[in-house]
Chains A and B, each alone.
Chain A
Amino acid sequence: MSVVNYDEDVLIKEQGFDDHFHDHHHGDKYQSGFITKYIFSQDHKMIAKQFLITGMMWAIIGAGMSIIFRLQLGFPEDSLAWLKPLLGKWITVNDAGIGTLAPEFYYALVTMHGTILVFFVLTAGLSGTFSNLLIPLQVGARDMASPLLNMLSYWFFFTAGIIMFCSLFLSTGPFAGGWTAYPPLSALPQASDGSGAGMTMWVASLVLFVVSVLLGGINYITTVLNLRTKGMTMWRMPLTIWAFLITAILGLLSFPVLVSALFLVMFDRGLGTSFFLSEIFIGGEALNHVGGSPVLYQHLFWFLGHPEVYIIILPAMGLTSEVLSVHARKPIFGYKAMVFSILAIAFLSFIVWAHHMFMSGVNPFISNFFVIFTLIIAVPSAVKVFNWIATLYGGNIRFVSAMLFAIGFVSLFISGGLTGIFLGNAAIDIQMHDTYFVVAHFHIVMGIAAFFGMFAGIYHWFPKMYGRFMNETLGRIHFWGTMIGAYAIFWPMHYLGMAGVPRRYYRFDNFDTFSHFGQMNQFITIAAIIVFFLQILFVVNFFVSIWKGKRVATKNPWGATTLEWTTPIDGIHGNWPGNIPAVHRWAYDYGKDGVEFIPQIVPLTEKEKENAEDLH
């Protein structure tokens, strides 16, 4: 394999174009003082780091909650008294010194775990981080279309987080009604302890969160569509950018629908309307609410809820595609098919929402429609999986941590995707709904898989973020432990689900039907604890590497083709010191004509030009 010789400084100077960006002084607005540089920063690279680190903190809190409720499920007889210093009154210690977790707090933990992981970690932490970091760098823009709105996007997210965090400390506990917040538990403040102030803060937090998603999304779409550099046509964009663009469009169209549902919930809670409440008795007393429909809420919620799972998984798919191609030293297989399958998935995601409601009293004939479209999603998904595997086939694979996680993503996406075909059938859903089969399915396909895409992205772009590498040995331990551990946690849950074990229950040992699963639940809990500590190892690796990691010596350590690797190692405001680079080719010229890789900024050779003309 030969190597193409190029000097990016010379190329950018000669081929790029001058937007007079550096003619102006930006120092006062950007990065001059501690506060404008690190806190109220308007620089997309800093905002990306803010999203990432906030997301990591939430991930630790959310995963920690899962460990507490897993302890309860795995060891229902054992004392949890040692958690009393952390959980306070939610642990009751009896005379024999045995501490038990309050059942209502158990449900609150499950609810918060879902809310935190779905919204704060895998939406804000994933697409917030990488859309911010990569969109301007990979399309060749100085920054986002509106750096101010971008900064506000982070601070709305931060405020939403603060409100949710405070709700954990309420004397009545945080909201306890499942992350989907179905009425009546969400719409009646007196329905349960968590339905009071906990739910009020949950709604407030989520509305602010949606504002954050919309401000961010508007910026991402505008930047991709309007601020691409010279020569960066849509068909030359890396798949990461396609994924972020479509993700942002999904968010823009689906999150407002969630807001409308939450508004109606607020009216039901505070102002006595009956949108979702109907003929309810509480404590033997009839309420005034008449004529509402709780199923209406489910329709509105899942109209967001289903696109939301693609808002989570599409960025992970984009990151995986890019990492696989770079480290297999091969062009991504079927680039256009990849783009069209993203578009197809995005379109289908809007017409399948009622598959979450097969057992909610939806007309079975209407279910047919949703079954068919749900199963059709398997087609574009399979196209993507085929293309990832074909990209790996015959590749000169570098098994670095980023690559391992990208390959792991493909594995998890297959295993989790296949169980989706079971659940998408309304008839099978009669047995499977609300069991651990569902829990296993969505944790593998959109929980763990999305995390793997995120890890692949973090290991791969860490050198771009901090100018250093993360520790490779720890990265591999992290990968193998998490890969095996994640399957150890979720594989057995399929069997629990097929046996009908319901999700969200506090304990199973006093049911005759389920009590023999005690050891399986113990096994799952132990695996979960091990995986949790492996993630702590990752967090340690991350923060230590920021200051102590191996320094990056060249601008393009992975030998990648995309524009972000033409910027200075220590990022500067405006990304490129002089001109903005111009783009001459697509993002996947690996191994072309015997050359290992050709960056997008390298002009076409005479031979390439001839071939290009032949095509027309």
Chain B
Amino acid sequence: MDLSVKKERRYHSKIHPHKFALWAGCASIVMLFAALTSAYIVRKAAGNWLEFKLPVQFFYNTIVIIGSSITLQASYYFFKKGNAQLYRSLLVVSFILGMVFLGMQYSGWLAMESIGVELAGNPSGSFVYVISGLHAAHLLGGIAAMIVALVHAFVLKYKVTNQRKLRFEMTLTYWHFMGILWIYLLLFFVLQ
């Protein structure tokens, strides 16, 4: 698509329509988790609530997802700066960290099961499974976007265009959003 078109069309707005749409989508995801976490609070207040320790994997994983956000941001930085080598390798690192996060979440669920907190047990455990599971499902969307980014990085000829910058920025926004969402969820579980 011709970019001069976009420029003139964005007569009023400073933000690209697709980016705006992504933010609107993030708002609806926020509402999904707001609903689940407030359901958690309401249910907890009703009593008959099993207290248990969150698996350590969840805490280590926070470092992993923050790390992947940093490497992805750096990859974008080098993409713009013209360093194709670092751009590609940091993108690969981010992708691997994303997969590690998913794997460790899974091992976290196994750890919960091994201490007797089962999905079909007390709702306190069920909530943790469902909320972290839905987060992982949304993270898969970010993984899919990163796969597209990887294909672009390794198949297409390296070139900084506005179109590719936009695409990268949107992947980046969503990935950071997923990271912040996880930090919120973890803090919620710990503080609640």
Interface, chain A (partner B; CB < 8 A): 17-21, 23-24, 145-146, 149, 214, 217-219, 221-223, 225-230, 252-257, 259-261, 263-264, 267, 271-275, 288, 290-293, 296, 299-300, 303
Known contacts A19-B9, A227-B9, A267-B126; A222/B17 CB under 8 A: yes
Query: A145 to B120, Cβ gap below 8 A?
Result: no
Query: A21 to B5, Cβ gap below 8 A?
Result: yes
Residue among B21, B33, B36, B122 with max Cβ neighbours from chain A (10 Å): B21
A290 to B124, CA, bound (A): 12
Query: A259 to B32, Cβ gap below 8 A?
Result: yes
A406 to B29, CA, bound (A): 36
A267 to B128, CA, bound (A): 13
CB distance from B35 to the nearest CB of A (A): 4
A218 to B43, CA, bound (A): 31
Chain B contact-residue range equals 35 or more
Known contacts A229-B11, A272-B119; A218/B35 CB under 8 A: no
> What's the dominant secondary structure at chain B's contact region?
helix
Closest 8 CB pairs of A and B: A272-B120, A256-B32, A257-B35, A260-B35, A145-B17, A256-B31, A273-B126, A226-B17
Does B4 sit at the interface, judged by CB under 8 A?
yes
Does B60 sit at the interface, judged by CB under 8 A?
no
Query: A300 to B12, Cβ gap below 8 A?
Result: no
B29 contacts across to A, CB distance below 8 A = 256
Query: A271 to B119, Cβ gap below 8 A?
Result: yes
A259 to B33, CA, bound (A): 10
A303 contacts across to B, CB distance below 8 A = 35
Besides A145-B17, A273-B126, 6 other CB < 8 A contacts? A20-B4, A214-B25, A225-B13, A267-B126, A288-B120, A296-B39
Query: A145 to B9, Cβ gap below 8 A?
Result: no
Query: B28 to A255, Cβ gap below 8 A?
Result: yes
A227 to B168, CA, bound (A): 22
Query: A19 to B5, Cβ gap below 8 A?
Result: yes
Does B10 sit at the interface, judged by CB under 8 A?
yes
A483 to B180, CA, bound (A): 53
Which residues of B from 113 to 128 have beta carbons under 8 Å from A? 119-120, 122-123, 126-127
Known contacts A264-B130, A273-B126; A227/B17 CB under 8 A: yes
A299 contacts across to B, CB distance below 8 A = 39, 42
Which residues of B from 127 to 144 have beta carbons under 8 Å from A? 127, 130, 134
A315 to B45, CA, bound (A): 39
Contact among B5, B17, B48, B130 with A290 in the assembled complex (CB-CB below 8 Å):
B48
Query: B5 to A20, Cβ gap below 8 A?
Result: yes
Query: A226 to B35, Cβ gap below 8 A?
Result: no
Known contacts A20-B2, A256-B29; A223/B17 CB under 8 A: yes
Query: A300 to B10, Cβ gap below 8 A?
Result: no
CB distance from A128 to the nearest CB of B (A): 17
A261 to B4, CA, bound (A): 45
CB distance from A153 to the nearest CB of B (A): 12
Name which residue of chain B comes closest to A221, CB basis.
B24
Does B27 sit at the interface, judged by CB under 8 A?
yes
A-B contact pairs, 19 of them (CB 8 A): A20-B5, A146-B18, A221-B24, A226-B17, A226-B20, A256-B31, A260-B32, A260-B39, A261-B35, A264-B36, A267-B130, A273-B119, A274-B120, A274-B123, A275-B126, A275-B127, A293-B42, A299-B42, A300-B35
A293 to B34, CA, bound (A): 18
B25 contacts across to A, CB distance below 8 A = 214, 218
A267 to B21, CA, bound (A): 30
Query: B123 to A273, Cβ gap below 8 A?
Result: yes
A19 to B7, CA, bound (A): 9
Query: B36 to A260, Cβ gap below 8 A?
Result: yes
A337 to B71, CA, bound (A): 50
Does B8 sit at the interface, judged by CB under 8 A?
yes
Name which residue of chain B comes closest to A274, CB basis.
B123
A214 to B30, CA, bound (A): 13
Contact among A24, A222, A228, A300 with B20 in the assembled complex (CB-CB below 8 Å):
A222
Does B151 sit at the interface, judged by CB under 8 A?
no
Known contacts A264-B130, A292-B123; A219/B21 CB under 8 A: yes
Query: B17 to A291, Cβ gap below 8 A?
Result: no
Does B46 sit at the interface, judged by CB under 8 A?
yes
CB distance from B62 to the nearest CB of A (A): 23
CB distance from A446 to the nearest CB of B (A): 22
A229 to B126, CA, bound (A): 50
Name which residue of chain A comes closest to B14, CB basis.
A226
B43 contacts across to A, CB distance below 8 A = 275, 293, 296
B122 contacts across to A, CB distance below 8 A = 274, 290-291
A259 contacts across to B, CB distance below 8 A = 32
Query: A218 to B24, Cβ gap below 8 A?
Result: yes
Known contacts A24-B2, A256-B31, A264-B39; A228/B126 CB under 8 A: no
A273 to B36, CA, bound (A): 15
Query: A222 to B8, Cβ gap below 8 A?
Result: no
Does B156 sit at the interface, judged by CB under 8 A?
no
Known contacts A227-B17, A263-B134, A267-B130; A252/B28 CB under 8 A: yes
Query: B20 to A274, Cβ gap below 8 A?
Result: no
CB distance from B28 to the nearest CB of A (A): 5
A228 contacts across to B, CB distance below 8 A = 11-12
Does B15 sit at the interface, judged by CB under 8 A?
yes
A253 contacts across to B, CB distance below 8 A = 27-28, 31
A275 contacts across to B, CB distance below 8 A = 39, 43, 123, 126-127
Residue among A18, A217, A218 with max Cβ neighbours from chain B (10 Å): A218
A2 to B33, CA, bound (A): 58
A17 contacts across to B, CB distance below 8 A = 8, 11
A226 to B39, CA, bound (A): 35
CB distance from B111 to the nearest CB of A (A): 19
CB distance from B144 to the nearest CB of A (A): 15
B15 contacts across to A, CB distance below 8 A = 226
CB distance from A208 to the nearest CB of B (A): 15
Query: B130 to A263, Cβ gap below 8 A?
Result: yes
CB distance from B90 to the nearest CB of A (A): 29
A272 contacts across to B, CB distance below 8 A = 119-120
B27 contacts across to A, CB distance below 8 A = 252-253
Name which residue of chain B comes closest to A260, CB basis.
B35
Known contacts A226-B13, A261-B35; A145/B123 CB under 8 A: no
